[in-house]
Amino acid sequence: MRLTRKRLCSFLIALYCLFSLYAAYHVFFGRRRQAPAGSPRGLRKGVAPARERHGREQSTLESEEWNPWEGDEKNEQQHRFKTSLQILNKSTKGKTDLNVQIWGKAAIGLYLWEHIFEGLLDPHDVTAQWREGKSIVGRTQYSFITGPAVIPGYFSVDVNNVVLILNGREKAKIFYATQWLLYAQNLVQIQKLQHLAVVLLGNEHCNNEWINPFLKRNGGFVELLFITYDSPWINDVDVFQWPLGVATYRNFPVVEASWSMLHDQRPYLCNFLGTIYENSSRQALMNILKKDGNDKLCWVSPREQWQPQETNESLKNYQDALLQSDLTLCPVGVNTECYRIYEACSYGSIPVVEDVMTAGSCGNTSVHHSAPLQLLKSMGAPFIFIKNWKELPAVLEKEKTIILQEKIERRKMLLQWYQHFKTELKMKFTDILESSFLMNSKS
pLDDT in tens, 128-138: 999 999 999 99
Q: Is the link from the previous residue into 36 a cis peptide, with omega within 30 of 0?
A: no
Beta sheet of 299-303, edge-to-edge order: 299-303, 268-275, 325-330, 350-354, 384-386
Report the number of secondary-structure helices (H) and strands (E) in the chain.
13, 12
Domain identity same for 186 and 305: no
Q: Which pLDDT score, from 0 to 100, does residue 6 have?
A: 64
Domain identity same for 209 and 258: no
DSSP H helices in 94-232: 108-110, 171-189
Separation CA 21–CA 414 (nearest Å): 51
Domain identity same for 264 and 390: yes
Q: Which pLDDT score, from 0 to 100, does residue 108 have?
A: 97
Residue-number span of the structural domain to which 134 is assigned: 95-228
Q: Are strands 384-386 and 161-167 parallel, antiparallel or unpaired?
A: unpaired
441 within domain boundaries: no
Q: Which pLDDT score, from 0 to 100, does residue 95 have?
A: 74
Mean pLDDT across 249-271: 96
Q: Report the 10 Å Cβ neighbour count for 201.
A: 23
Q: Which residues on adjacent β-strands are paired with residue 254? A: 56
Domain identity same for 187 and 320: no
Greatest Cα pair distance in the chain: 112
Instruction: Name which of 206, 199, 204 is nearest 227 in CA terms.
Output: 199
pLDDT band at 111 (very low <50, low <70, confident <90, very high): very high
Burial category of 414 from C-beta neighbours within 10 Å (exposed 0-12, middle 13-18, buried 19 and up): buried
pTM metric for this prediction:
0.80
Least reliable range by pLDDT among 58-62, 326-330, 370-374:
58-62
Q: What is the pLDDT of residues 299-327, one digit of tens each?
A: 999 887 766 667 889 899 999 999 999 99
Instruction: Name which of 240, 228, 253, 238 is nearest 312 in CA terms.
Output: 253
Domain CATH code at residue 214: 3.40.50.300
Domain identity same for 279 and 385: yes
pLDDT band at 72 (very low <50, low <70, confident <90, very high): low
Domain identity same for 147 and 102: yes
Q: What is the pLDDT of residues 3-54, one digit of tens each?
A: 466 666 677 676 666 766 666 555 455 544 333 333 333 333 333 333 344 4
Q: Which amino acid is at 7?
A: R
Q: 98 with 142: CB under 8 angstroms?
A: no
3-state percent breakdown (helix, strand, coil) of the chain, nearest 5: 45, 15, 40
User: Which is higher by pLDDT, 442 or 159?
Assistant: 159
Q: What is the pLDDT of residues 168-213, one digit of tens each?
A: 999 999 999 999 999 999 999 999 999 999 999 999 999 999 999 9
DSSP helix/strand/coil, 390: helix
Domain identity same for 265 and 411: yes
Q: Which pLDDT score, from 0 to 100, does residue 102 have?
A: 98
3 within domain boundaries: no
Number of domains comprising the chain? 2
User: Which is higher by pLDDT, 16 or 399?
Assistant: 399
Domain identity same for 221 and 280: no
* Length of the chain (residues): 443
Q: Which pLDDT score, from 0 to 100, does residue 4 have?
A: 61
294 within domain boundaries: yes
Does the structure show a pLDDT above 50 at 64? no
Strand (E) or helix (H) holding 80 = helix 73-93
406 within domain boundaries: yes
Out of 179, 195, 228, a domain closes at 228
Q: What is the mean pLDDT of the chain?
A: 85
pLDDT band at 296 (very low <50, low <70, confident <90, very high): very high
Q: Is the link from the previous residue into 49 a cis peptide, with omega within 30 of 0?
A: no
Separation CA 410–CA 271 (nearest Å): 17
pLDDT band at 76 (very low <50, low <70, confident <90, very high): low
Q: Which pLDDT score, from 0 to 100, does residue 383 have?
A: 98
Q: Which pLDDT score, from 0 to 100, does residue 162 have?
A: 98
User: Which is higher by pLDDT, 375 or 367?
Assistant: 375
Q: 427 with 138: CB under 8 angstroms?
A: yes
